[in-house]
Amino acid sequence: MVWYSNLETWANISTVAASVAVLATAVFVWKQVGLMAGSSTLEQARFRRESAQDAFDVLQNDKFRSNRDKMLTKLNDGIDVPTDKGDIAVFRHVVNVYEMLGLKIRLDAIDEEALRLYWRTTLLRDWERLQSFVEKERAQFKNPKLYEDAEEIVLRWKDAG
């Protein structure tokens, strides 16, 4: 019954992974609630609550997860700068999500520390692998500031260790 033993092991691993995800989500929510409590107006508190929910929803969204998986597959296959229009759209979607997170942090719409605890390792690893793509996009659109909010949090988080 080796297969049964392996199945039980994978079930235990899945349970641990799910528990870690729940804990990370709880920390994110707790930190965001603290940020909202410090809001000076009801509108600002609502803006922060909705921004935090939006950020969390985007990172858990099936489209983002699917596109990130496709991007990682291409990167693992040695394709740092895709040429296929569909693949370019996949890479752009992922980088745009990271840019949106950076913008939300710059606008003080979400708690940076909470997001850093939740997504730091993934963002730093992805951004490092996306450097060639980002450079190509900046050159193509003649905009050296393209994706600067994402890059800013990457640099800050990298320096923070």
Residue 25's pLDDT band (cuts 50, 70, 90): low
- 53, amino acid identity: Q
CA atoms of 130 and 66, how far apart (whole Å): 17
- Three-state DSSP state, 13: helix
* pLDDT, tens digit (0-9, with 9 covering 90-100), for 27-84: 666 665 665 555 567 777 777 778 788 888 999 999 999 999 999 999 999 999 999 9
Q: By C-alpha distance, which of 108, 101, 118 is closest to 152?
A: 101
* pLDDT, tens digit (0-9, with 9 covering 90-100), for 95-120: 999 999 999 999 888 888 888 988 99
What is the gyration radius of the CA atoms in the chain, in angstroms? Answer: 18
CA atoms of 16 and 14, how far apart (whole Å): 5
pTM of the model: 0.74
Which DSSP helix (H) or strand (E) runs through 6?
A: helix 2-37
What pLDDT does 41 receive? Answer: 75
